[in-house]
């Protein structure tokens, strides 16, 4: 049966589909529309779709990145730009690290028999269920107290003498601190879905590379990686999405300078006057995942099915 | 014989970075938390200065009505969202499992909700549920029905609705994938035998999909216990404790009440609950694999 033959459907069926689409993307539309409205228009009953769109909210949200001073602002209160850059740094670096480490681990689990393999694969599966809330308490304690370079150690003294400051540096409040926990949180999932892609790489290809004199690492980077690109894309999107959207752990670890966008939204969500600005901030946070979904939905669906159906 | 295993260190080198990070940032924190749950732990102290209190933190929780309430709210939330999402998701998949134009666009639009940040979902739904200018109440006005105080009177229902919006697509996509990979022969046979569409669904499609559906259900259930941000933004756990799920209570106990020992004990209990679910999923997939292997074996013997 070819894929291009479509069955004729009842018109009622199309009405139903239209309703489903409306329900599914309606809230996103509301977000977009409200981000283009003035606060008065958001809260007043009248209007609906009849309003003059304004980019004022976006100007307010992005005021610390703009090269000009918007005329409706006396000072820049919401520092969205800085938070946006923090979010980008954290999400991109943690995604890259997770992918590299995760692919290597998945490869080892699929291709080699070694001692501790079963323990490793079991624990990878088991830690997938840990909620961020459970990590909150220990991560907060460890990142603030234990994962530090003390001021009395050699490295601590060196840092103090070279860069100034108190000399004891803890992971909390740094980008690396948040990146570390995101990498750890995402690794189990990435290892799991990449395994199902690596299994499908024909072993004969690797053997051929071996015969040509490639070492295991060369084989991995030159032969295996190019073949599992779709899996890598799926894993990258999932990892990025979690790092980009996560709020709780970031809020416990970040300080004023390393704050990410979700923290900014939660901190400002209850304020009544900046409603439009908050919607604009939310829209800006939602744009990257929306773009992913539109451009790579096939990869997302494959990744989801590989991650779930295989158990 | 695997030629690579000539060098026995290779697999460990591949494994090392991931293992190290997970050890440092997952297993060590969890161990630290279990240890901390037996201590009277105040955030101003270093943990080594804290006193060992045995099971006191757990006892306190078990006697605390607020904890009981959180526990029940969590269970009610998780089980109700998962059951509604299962019915809706599987139903949608059965409905849309046909050759229609624009199916891939449709799937793309359907998975959009699950990609959007939970804090943003919370934000939008809080607006839609708003008593005076919210979308739902305006819609009720338009058709002449009385307004509903969504977040004040029906907070748990509101939170559940928002979660259903965000996560039904997950079930839908997985069930659709399962449906489309069903063996054609079984479906054909049922059709030729004259089974009505409903009979086909009930006696052929659903039983064949069951393995995937059970794993999907367990995955979604485990994830439902992780939900936090949407509820935080939507209701903040209130009014009262009506929507204060365990994850939220852990965060509040740690941050506002600064009772780290108690929060750690609570985290432990949540972890144990999830562990049981995960083990269930595990046992199920193992059993499933074994059964599939056995079936394949028998089929080969027959042919």
A129-176: per-residue pLDDT in tens? 889 989 998 888 888 777 777 656 666 666 666 665 555 677 777 888
- Among B residues 51-90, those touching chain A with beta carbons less than 8 Å apart: none
At A2, the pLDDT band (50, 70, 90 cuts) reads: very low
pLDDT tens by residue, A12-70? 888 888 899 999 999 999 899 888 888 777 777 555 667 778 888 888 888 777 777 77
Do the Cβ atoms of B11 and A180 come within 8 Å? no
How does pLDDT run across B252-290, given as a tens digit for each residue? 888 888 888 889 999 999 999 998 888 888 888 888 878
B217 close to A (CB below 8 A)? no
**Statement to judge: residues A26 and A114 lie in one domain:** no
What is the pLDDT confidence band of residue B125, given thresholds at 50, 70 and 90? very high
With residue B35 as reference, give the H or E element that holds it: helix B28-36
CB A108 within 8 A of CB A124: no
How far, in Å, CA of B278 to CA of A89, rounded? 33
* Pair A53, A190 in one domain: no
A301 within a domain of the structure (yes/no)? no
Q: Are residues A50 and A109 both part of a single domain? A: no
Q: Is residue A294 a part of any domain in this protein?
A: no
With contact defined as beta carbons under 8 Å apart, do A275 and A31 qualify? no
A67 vs A282, more confident: A282
Contacts of A214 in chain B (CB under 8 A): none
Q: What is the pLDDT of residues A83-114, one digit of tens each?
A: 889 999 999 999 999 999 999 999 998 888 88
Helix (H/G/I), strand (E/B), else coil: A79: coil
Whichever domain contains A135, its CATH number is 1.10.3720.10
Q: What is the DSSP string of B164-228?
A: HHHHHHHHHHHHHHHHHTS-HHHHHHHHHTT--HHHIIIIIIHHHHHHHHHHHHHHHHHHHTT--
DSSP three-state, residue A309: helix
Residue A176 lies in a domain: yes
The neighbouring-strand residues paired with A148 are A170
State whether A87 and A213 are in the same domain: yes
Indicate yes or no: CB of A269 within 8 angstroms of CB of B119.
Answer: yes
Dihedral, CA of residue A77, residue A59, residue A239 and residue B237, to nearest 10: 50
How far apart, in Å, are the Cα atoms of A201 and each of A111, A157, B5, B219?
10, 50, 18, 27
Half-sphere exposure (CA, 13 Å, Cβ side) for A223? 23
Residues 50-89 of A with CB under 8 A from B: none
Angle between helices B260-302 and B206-224 (to 10 degrees): 160
* Total tally of structural domains belonging to chain A: 2
User: In this complex, is the C-beta atom of B257 within 8 Å of any C-beta atom belonging to chain A?
Assistant: no
3-state percent breakdown (helix, strand, coil) of chain A, nearest 5: 70, 0, 30
Facing residues of A210 across strands?
Answer: none
Q: Are A179 and A86 in contact (CB under 8 A)?
A: no
| Residue B3 pLDDT | 47
Q: Based on the number of CB atoms within 10 Å of its own CB, is B293 exposed (0-12), middle (13-18) or buried (19 or more)?
A: exposed
Same structural domain for residues A137 and A232? Answer: yes
State the Cα torsion A292-A298-A304-A308 to the nearest 10°. Answer: 180
Whats the size of chain B, residue-wise? 303
Mean pLDDT of chain A: 82
Q: Which of A242, A171, A213 is nearest to B116 (CA)?
A: A242
Answer yes or no: is A149 within a domain. Answer: yes
Within a domain: A237:
yes
Query: Which of B10, B95, B121 is closest, CB to CB, to A216?
Result: B10
**What pLDDT does residue A273 have?**
59
Question: At B224, is the pLDDT very low, low, confident or very high (cuts 50, 70, 90)?
Answer: very high
Q: Is A144 in the same domain as A252? A: yes
Which residues does chain B have within 8 Å of residue A3's beta carbon, measured at their own beta carbons? 99
Determine the pLDDT at residue A80: 83
Are residues B226 and A132, on separate chains, in Cβ contact within 8 Å? yes
Average pLDDT score over residue span A213-228? 85
Task: Look at residue A124 and tell me if it is in a domain.
Answer: yes
Q: Is A171 on the interface with B (CB under 8 A)?
A: no
Q: Do the domain assignments include residue A32? A: yes
Verify that A105 and A30 share a domain, yes or no.
no
When CB atoms are compared, the residue of B15, B174, B285 closest to A120 is: B15
User: What pLDDT is attached to residue A97?
Assistant: 95
Q: Please check whether residues A93 and A56 belong to one and the same domain.
A: no
Mutation site for B-interface testing, chosen from A134, A221, A281 by largest number of B Cβ within 10 Å: A134
Range of the domain at A16: 11-62
Enumerate the residues of chain B whose CB falls inside 8 A of the CB of residue A114: 5, 8, 11-12, 15
Residues A29 and A95 grouped into a single domain: no
Residues A170 and A27 in one domain: no
**Running DSSP on this structure, what letter comes out for residue B98?**
S
Nearest residue of B to residue A14 by CA position?
B100
Token pair for B32: 């630290």
What's the pLDDT score for residue B192? 87
- Tell me: do A58 and A104 sit in the same domain: no
Answer whether residue A303 is part of any domain.
Answer: no
Tokens for A257, please give them: 């300078």
Both A97 and A184 in one domain: the answer is: yes
Minimal Cα–Cα distance from A159 to chain B, Å?
23
Q: Residue B51's beta-bridge partner residues?
A: B40
Name chain A contacts of B100, Cβ cutoff 8 Å.
6-7, 9, 17
Q: Is the pLDDT of residue A249 over 60?
A: yes
């Amino acid at each position: 049966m070819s894929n291009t033959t479509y069955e004729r459907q009842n018109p009622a069926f199309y009405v139903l589909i239209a309703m489903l689409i409306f329900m599914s993307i309606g809230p996103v539309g509301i977000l977009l529309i409200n981000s283009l409205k003035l606060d008065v228009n958001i809260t007043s009953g009248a209007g609906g779709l009849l309003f003059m769109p304004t980019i004022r909210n976006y100007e307010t949200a992005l005021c610390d990145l703009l090269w000009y001073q918007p005329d409706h602002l006396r000072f820049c209160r919401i520092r969205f730009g800085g938070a946006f850059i923090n979010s980008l740094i954290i999400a991109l670096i943690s995604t890259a690290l997770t992918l590299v480490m995760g692919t290597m681990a998945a490869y080892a689990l699929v291709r080699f028999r070694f001692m501790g393999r079963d323990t490793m694969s079991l624990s990878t599966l088991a830690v997938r269920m840990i909620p961020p809330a459970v990590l909150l308490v220990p991560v907060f304690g460890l990142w603030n107290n234990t994962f530090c370079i003390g001021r009395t150690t050699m490295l601590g003294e060196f840092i103090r003498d070279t860069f100034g400051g108190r000399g004891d540096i803890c992971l909390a409040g740094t980008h690396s601190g948040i990146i570390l926990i995101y990498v750890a949180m995402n690794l189990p999932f990435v290892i799991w879905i990449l395994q199902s892609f690596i299994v499908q790489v024909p072993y004969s290809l690797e053997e051929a590379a071996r015969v040509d004199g490639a070492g295991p690492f060369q084989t991995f980077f030159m032969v295996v990686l190019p073949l599992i690109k779709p899996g890598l894309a799926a894993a990258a999107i999932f990892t990025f999405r979690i790092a980009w959207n996560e709020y709780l752990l970031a809020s416990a670890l970040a300080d004023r300078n390393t704050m990410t966008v979700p923290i900014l939204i939660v901190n400002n969500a209850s304020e009544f006057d900046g409603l439009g600005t908050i919607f604009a901030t939310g829209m800006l946070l939602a744009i990257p995942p929306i773009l992913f979904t539109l451009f790579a939905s096939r990869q997302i669906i494959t990744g989801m099915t590989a991650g779930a159906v295989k158990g | 014989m695997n030629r690579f295993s000539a060098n026995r260190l290779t697999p460990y080198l591949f494994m090392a970075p991931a293992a190290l990070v997970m050890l440092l940032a997952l297993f060590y924190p969890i161990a630290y938390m279990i240890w901390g749950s037996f201590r009277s732990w105040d955030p101003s102290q270093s943990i080594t200065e804290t006193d060992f209190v045995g099971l006191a933190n757990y006892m306190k929780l078990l006697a605390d009505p607020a904890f009981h309430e959180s526990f029940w709210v969590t269970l009610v939330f998780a089980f109700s969202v998962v059951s509604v999402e299962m019915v809706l998701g599987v139903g949608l998949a059965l409905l849309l499992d046909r050759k229609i134009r624009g199916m891939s666009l449709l799937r793309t639009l359907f998975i959009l909700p699950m990609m959007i940040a939970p804090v943003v979902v919370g934000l939008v739904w809080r607006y839609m549920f708003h008593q005076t200018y919210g979308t739902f109440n305006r819609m009720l006005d338009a058709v002449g029905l009385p307004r509903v105080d969504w977040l004040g009177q029906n907070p748990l229902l509101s939170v559940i609705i928002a979660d259903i919006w965000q996560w039904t697509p997950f079930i839908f996509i997985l069930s659709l994938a399962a449906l489309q990979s069903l063996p054609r022969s079984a479906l054909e046979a049922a059709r030729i035998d004259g089974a009505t569409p409903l009979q086909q669904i009930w006696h052929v499609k659903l039983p064949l999909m069951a393995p995937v559906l059970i794993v999907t259900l367990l995955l979604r259930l485990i994830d439902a216990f992780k939900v936090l941000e949407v509820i935080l933004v939507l209701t903040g756990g209130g009014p009262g404790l009506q929507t204060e799920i365990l994850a939220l209570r852990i965060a509040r106990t740690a941050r506002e009440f600064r009772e780290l020992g108690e929060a750690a004990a609570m985290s432990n209990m949540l972890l144990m609950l999830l562990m049981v679910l995960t083990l269930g999923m595990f046992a199920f997939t193992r059993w499933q694999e074994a059964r599939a292997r056995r079936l394949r074996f028998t089929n080969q013997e027959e042919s």
